[in-house]
Structure 1
């Protein structure tokens, strides 16, 4: 078998081919070749959530280490979409850990506070999410499916076309009209 760099020069392998090759042999050079194609996606997603360059760079490295382990245990059909979800989840877990590890100096006079504004904000966000879910459920079935695939699962139009069998322009129309209908519903 030729080394990966020679194979890449001869004829670039698809994501699926590289993934299958890594999962069957465990060659990290193959995984690195595949991962390098999407480091900009990973870094951009990490910047979106973490808002700091150094944290995003660390996330890029940490996610690679996660892939080494996860790809040996999981079946992945569309690497790019799967990697986006892994990246997003990694960032959200990092943020959650940071929030949970905040050290606050104990101040006895603040133990019984009458300020419950943080509860009001949380309730307001929960109401907004419930309203959004209700609005999504009120969409036509095709719009609902397109909105869920596009926004909640992070799929692109082409992936939705493949999943649903609809035409590309139909998917685009469903997403745009669904977004407009959601906006109108949320503003009511």
Structure 2
């Protein structure tokens, strides 16, 4: 019996879907349970289990994975959150100054208010005007709801640089939106 790490490495080399199936199969009930926790719908959760497997086909060959179980958990959680966010058309969170400064920011802040479409268009326009580092960090942190550590891992930036890019990007975004609203 091959270890998980050996299966991951072998799959990365060969792309053999049978290897990926052997790797994923023991975790299917756990992934289903996680999805069910978010969706509270059996059919949607079953579909998500298959969609996550399909995303594994490419993502596992791209990403270096040392702990498959925890990586899979993050992948599944992010899949569910992104799917729910798209389904609810939640694309913006409140970006008050004190929330960005706090390491305790939990991303679940939702005032329940809908943001008018023109504000969303304005925000997207201003996001495009940020420098590349700020834009990337702000998008990952606020729109994809990654934590500081995840943003640092994805971008390769130092954790303090990530916090700085997010803070400066948020401030520049606010200034740009205020100017354009006039």
Bin of the TM-score, shorter chain as denominator length? 0.5 to 0.7
The corresponding residue for 2:100 is: none
- Once residues 160 and 44 of structure 2 are traced to their aligned partners in structure 1, the CA distance between those partners, rounded to angstroms, is 34
What is the match of residue 105 of structure 1? none
What's the CA shift for 1:146?
0.8
2:141, 2:151 within 8 Å by CA — same for their partners in 1? yes
Check conservation: 2:134, 2:168, Cα contact below 8 A.
yes
Q: Which has the larger radius of gyration?
A: 1
Deviation at 1:171, TM superposition (A): 0.3
1:29-48 Cα deviation digits (max 9, x unpaired): 42223555xx3x974xx4xx
Aligned residues: 132
Tell whether 2:19 aligns with 1:25.
no
Deviation at 1:28, TM superposition (A): 4.4
Query: 2:175 & 2:75 partners in 1: Cα distance?
Result: 29
Match of residue 180, structure 1, among 171, 175, 180: 171
- Counting only pairs closer than 5 Å after superposition, residues 47-126 of structure 1 correspond to structure 2 as 56-58=39-41, 61-74=42-55, 75-77=58-60, 79=72, 80-81=74-75, 83-90=77-84, 92-93=86-87, 125-126=116-117
* Shift in alpha-carbon separation, 1:90–1:148, aligned structure 2, 3 A: closer
Take 1:26 and 1:84, find their aligned partners in 2: how far apart are those partners?
A: 20
**Match of residue 161 from structure 1:** 152
Task: Provide the rounded CA distance (Å) in 2 between the counterparts of 1:24 and 1:132.
Answer: 42
Distance in 2, matches of 1:67 and 1:22, equals 20
Contact persistence 1:132–1:182 (CA under 8 A): yes
Gaps of 5+ in 2: 12-17, 61-70, 90-114
